[in-house]
Chains A and B, each alone.
Chain A
Amino acid sequence: MTQKVLIVDDAAFMRMMIKDILTKNGYEVIGEAEDGKVALEKYKELKPDLVTMDITMPEMDGIESVRKIKEYDSKAIIIMCSAMGQQAMVIDAIQAGAKDFIVKPFQPDRIIEALQKVGG
Chain B
Amino acid sequence: MDSKNGVSLLPEKKISKEKLDLLKELANIGVGNALTSLSQMLDEEKVEMDVPVATLALLQDVPDLLGGDELPTVGIYIESHGDINLTILFVLSLESATSLISSLIPGSQGDFDEMGLSALIEVGNILTASYLNALSFMTGLQLLPSPPEIAVDMSAAIISTVMAEAHIIDEEVVLLKTSLKAQKSHISGHILILPDLGALKKIFTLLGVR
Q: Which residues of A contact B (CB under 8 A)?
A: 10-14, 16, 56-58, 82-89, 103-105, 107
Minimum CB–CB distance from A56 to chain B (whole Å) comes to 6
Chain A interface mostly: loop
**Contact of B145 with A13 in the complex, beta carbons under 8 Å:** no
Minimum CB–CB distance from A86 to chain B (whole Å) comes to 4
**Contact of A86 with B142 in the complex, beta carbons under 8 Å:** yes
User: Chain A: which residue is nearest B135 at the CB level?
Assistant: A86
Chain B residues lying within 8 Å of A87, measured Cβ to Cβ, are 136-137
Chain B interface mostly: helix
**Roughly how many angstroms separate A84 CA and B148 CA in the complex, as a whole number?**
13
**Roughly how many angstroms separate A16 CA and B115 CA in the complex, as a whole number?**
9
On chain B, which size bracket covers the interface? 20 to 34
Chain A residues lying within 8 Å of B142, measured Cβ to Cβ, are 86, 88-89
Partner of B118, one of A11, A56, A57, A86: A11
**Contact of A12 with B126 in the complex, beta carbons under 8 Å:** no
CB-CB under 8 A for A82 and B147, given A11-B121, A13-B104, A13-B115: no
Q: Which of B115, B128, B129, B146 has the most CB of A within 10 A?
A: B129
Minimum CB–CB distance from B149 to chain A (whole Å) comes to 11
User: Chain A: which residue is nearest B120 at the CB level?
Assistant: A13
**Contact of B126 with A104 in the complex, beta carbons under 8 Å:** yes
User: Chain A: which residue is nearest B145 at the CB level?
Assistant: A56
**Roughly how many angstroms separate A11 CA and B124 CA in the complex, as a whole number?**
11
**Roughly how many angstroms separate A104 CA and B118 CA in the complex, as a whole number?**
15
